[in-house]
Structure 1
């Protein structure tokens, strides 16, 4: 992870400084100073092992979020020590079961859509001792670039030679629909190009599913709104369970305080909010361990209901 980026609705321009640089060491220092750059973290769910991989960190502007009164937004961010720079990770996950090894989302790969410092999923797979040919399936929560560009290399060829792609049928239908593409604003057409190119590299080994068990103990559940085929992965092993929630939320402070808040890349913000509330209510009621793409690394935690929103309880690093 070399840096982070500031994104706004007006621009994808790089405005963040690199994390890796530091001031000159004081004369008395015996060892170089540096920063902590975590790259992976494992937890067990029954006999299943789930490994979080840090693809990188970018920064979002609060103006990406809609439906929140500005004064309330300021209070929410102040309560958790955040300001107008919302440092936002991109996490991907390896699910290692008795039946196979599966990657949940693939990160940004070599795409420089948001600048440098991202696209570290493949390197972190290597760090945990997994090679691309050992991935049996890539389960996509949805096909936005920060989830799917890592499927292909700079030449557009498949990175995972033995993996099938598993994706909700509504997601494939949406991005492949020429009529929808024709009606899309110019600013969104690049998303269609990205989805078609990355998924096209696996055209002969893509499994489109409705809500169903996709591998033993792994069930893909439809949670539309962020995209029309956005899905979450439910993991069950013995008496333990986890839900990998993808982009169900984009900022833990904002979306727990105001679950109805919209996000700039939502296809249908109202539907996304309905899916968000339903899933968070389920997680809170059943005490389910959750994992998210855009929650502070490693992204594992639980929820409790509070007033009209929720409280997030990050899991200990154990």
Structure 2
């Protein structure tokens, strides 16, 4: 427990968990959220947020379940894109005393740059030498085939770097299916839309529940208040809305703790129903 610059320990029942900070992405607010600009600006003002910039934190998650050391998403890796503030996962792991060689399984919510590039170093070598990856086969194949780029405006390097990162772990890869029980207490939930094979995850131990949202939800205020608004950088925005509403309803119905990859550090909180949407209630860091 306690406050640290790059990591935050907590528990889900008997599951030991650590949020690991990969940094943040410097994005413009405009062009990402599919709602009226004046309403978006009002939401931002009401929550003392910038009306022009959107600093998106990157919160990776490490959990220990039995003899499995599981990392969920790997951050931006060696690439210094989106403002140059990301890619510090390895530094945060060192601060938390976690050896990359101890990781036995890497779960990918999806294979976008800020979630998968940390699989390899600048030379394309595996950062987690003992780990297998678990990812949607559809996600893997769509990136390799280039199809997953259709709905996005990627840097030209995205596909080549993603292919190299995924290929380094192709042998022994686990292909996720909806409802898979990956290890006891950890279940995969298909939430396609942001990418063709996006997955969220549900962890449970001794009645404590955590939903790992990945990129099914990005903005901790606007997308929760208006889950019917599409995220314009989703591969399929309409499908993304359906997946977002599904996972939010599941988490809220169980009163579960949630982990938002791009929510303000450390991305932990609960959902409170508010009309047709939700309000984010951050979990106190001292718990």
- Fold in common (TM above 0.5): yes
Q: Distance in 2 between matches of 1:298 and 1:182?
A: 29
Report the number of matched residues: 282
Greater shift, 55-64 or 272-281, is seen at 55-64
Question: What SS does the corresponding residue of 1:202 show, helix, strand or coil?
Answer: coil
State whether residues 194 and 233 of structure 2, in contact with CA within 8 Å, keep that contact through their aligned partners in structure 1.
Answer: yes
In the TM superposition, residue 181 of structure 1 has moved relative to its aligned partner by: 7.0
- Other-structure match for 1:49: 16
Q: Is the 8 A contact 1:256 1:312 kept in 2?
A: yes
1:133-172 matches, within 5 Å, as 133-172=101-140
Match of 1:113 in 2: 81
Matched, 1:80 2:24: no
**Which residue matches 1:126?**
94
- Could you report, residue by residue, the CA deviation over 1:186-238 in whole angstroms, capped at 9, with x for unpaired residues? 74654322321110111213111212011222111110000011101111112
Matched, 1:61 2:28: yes
Q: Which is worse superposed, 220-229 or 257-266?
A: 257-266
Query: Whole-Å Cα distance in 2 between the matches of residues 108 and 45 of structure 1?
Result: 26
Unaligned runs of 5+ in 1: 1-35
**Which residue of 187, 209, 215 maps to 1:247?**
215
Q: Is the 8 A contact 1:51 1:94 kept in 2?
A: yes
Alpha-carbon contact 2:32-2:233 (below 8 Å) kept? no
Question: What is the distance in 1 between the residues matched to 2:88 and 2:71?
Answer: 14
CA distance in 2, matches of 1:56, 1:144: 16
8 Å contact from structure 1 (residues 99, 216) kept in 2? no
1:204 corresponds to which of 171, 189, 195: 171
Q: Give yes or no for the alignment of 1:93 onto 2:43.
A: no
The 8 Å contact of residues 216 and 240 in structure 2, kept in 1 or not, is answered as yes
Query: 1:181 touches 1:192 (CA, 8 Å); kept in 2?
Result: no
Report SS of the residue matched to 2:270: strand
Q: Give the secondary-structure state (helix, strand or coil) at the position aligned to 1:64.
A: coil
TM-score of the pair, normalised by structure 1? 0.84
Q: TM-score, normalised by structure 2?
A: 0.92
64-73 vs 293-302, which moves further? 64-73
**CA distance, structure 2, for counterparts of residue 131 and residue 244 of structure 1:** 22
CA distance in 2, matches of 1:265, 1:292: 17
Q: Rg larger in 1 or in 2? A: 1
Question: Which residue of the other structure, out of 294, 301, 311, is the alignment partner of 2:269?
Answer: 301
Residue 37 of structure 1: how far off its partner (Å): 7.4
Structure 1's 287 and 185: CA in aligned 2 closer, same or farther, altered over 3 A? closer
CA contact (8 A) 1:76 1:257 kept: no
- Correspondent of 2:236 among 255, 268, 277: 268
Which residue of structure 2 aligns with residue 29 of structure 1? none
Correspondence 1:71 to 2:48 = no
Of residues 159-168 and 250-259 in structure 1, the stretch that sits farther from structure 2 once superposed is 250-259
Counterpart contact for 2:22–2:76, Cα < 8 Å: yes
Q: CA deviation at 1:169?
A: 2.0
Q: Look up the SS of the partner of 1:196 in the other structure.
A: helix
* Aligned counterparts, 1:171-210, within 5 A: 171-177=139-145, 180=147, 187=154, 190-210=157-177
Aligned to 1:31: none
